[in-house]
Amino acid sequence: MDLSLVIPLYNEAESLPELKAWIEASLKDFSYEIIFVDDGSTDGSWEVIQQMAAPNVKGIRFRRNYGKSAALYVGFEAAQGDIVVTMDADLQDSPEEIPEMVRMIKEEGYDLVSGWKQHRKDNALTKNLPSKLYNWTARKVTGIKLHDMNCGLKAYKADVIKNIEVYGEMHRYIPYLAKNAGFDKIGEKPVHHQKRKYGKSKFGMDRFVHGMLDLMSLHFLSRFGARPMHFFGSSGILMFLIGFVMTVCIVVNKLYHQANGLKFRAVTDQPLFYLALLAVVLGVMLFLAGFVGEMIARSSTERNNYQIKEKL
């Protein structure tokens, strides 16, 4: 099979028949399957999917709303195509872009091709400006030069989605997950973006806050997930040394003044002493956190789960 289209959705009953017809018109030269993942819809989306069911149209339904990452995860598990395409169900992503994205993977050797909504049809204040800031930050942190990291329209080699785990709200950073798994040939294609035709957006401004926090978590895990002692241990030692040096300076200064008959303050009367004491305690706590994290990492069953590209 050439393609698997994984389409997560939540309350998109009105758009589904039109989306299916649009896909069929755009992919006449491919063998493909469509996997609709209903993320706990309450508007009858599942009934529409049941009506559209066919040998190449499949559906997966959650008992409740788990989020887009969960929907993509189960969709990736079910996908059987050589190339897997993800897109949103709200008719804002165009299936007509898919053949060119497939060509880029097959002929140009990309592991992943991400869409770039170059001319967005969203509200400039609530969507466009925050999106530009978010994507600029993501480029700086991940080192992946994508203009639109969170675009729902993406195409992957099947190996990519079978070797990454999408969880929480990490669907925003699938290119980064792919890069960390060794799939570093990542391309980008400008795609046409339509205005929402039915319903309303399921995402608010909070997604940008959550997105930044997820980016920080993912960046930390990619660098120190297997060796937490490198971060917490070195930070703890540094903090401890700062507190220790401050304490020594305070005590030496007090003894010097006392020995020379000069006016001095008791060590415990100096605010700097308590800051030094706090630094020592924090240093010990950080070191112990690193030690515990290291023990957990070393006992993990995934500690030697390496991605092997090929063997001879």
Determine, yes or no, domain membership for 171.
yes
Please say which residue of 204, 224, 244 terminates a domain: 224
- If asked whether residues 212 and 249 sit together in one domain, one would say no
Report the CATH number at residue 142.
Answer: 3.90.550.10
> Which tens digits make up the pLDDT trace of 227-247?
788 888 889 999 999 999 999
- If asked whether residues 215 and 252 sit together in one domain, one would say no
> Which tens digits make up the pLDDT trace of 116-147?
987 776 655 556 677 778 788 888 888 888 88
Mean pLDDT, residues 272-291 taken together? 91
Q: Locate tokens 């990542």: which residue?
A: 186
Return the half-sphere exposure (C-beta side, CA atoms, 13 A cut-off) of residue 130. 16
> CB-based burial of residue 276 (10 Å sphere; 0-12 exposed, 13-18 middle, 19+ buried)?
buried
- pLDDT confidence tier of residue 111, bands split at 50, 70 and 90: very high
Determine, yes or no, domain membership for 308.
no
Please say which residue of 191, 224, 257 terminates a domain: 224
Question: What pLDDT shows up at residue 204?
Answer: 57
- If asked whether residues 160 and 27 sit together in one domain, one would say yes
Cα gap 229→191, rounded to integer Å: 43
286: left (phi over 0), alpha (psi -120 to 50) or beta: alpha
- If asked whether residues 192 and 232 sit together in one domain, one would say no
- If asked whether residues 59 and 142 sit together in one domain, one would say yes
- If asked whether residues 30 and 8 sit together in one domain, one would say yes
Number of domains into which the chain is organized? 2
- If asked whether residues 144 and 171 sit together in one domain, one would say yes
Determine, yes or no, domain membership for 137.
yes
Which domain does 269 fall in, by range?
228-299
Cα gap 64→299, rounded to integer Å: 33
- If asked whether residues 147 and 291 sit together in one domain, one would say no
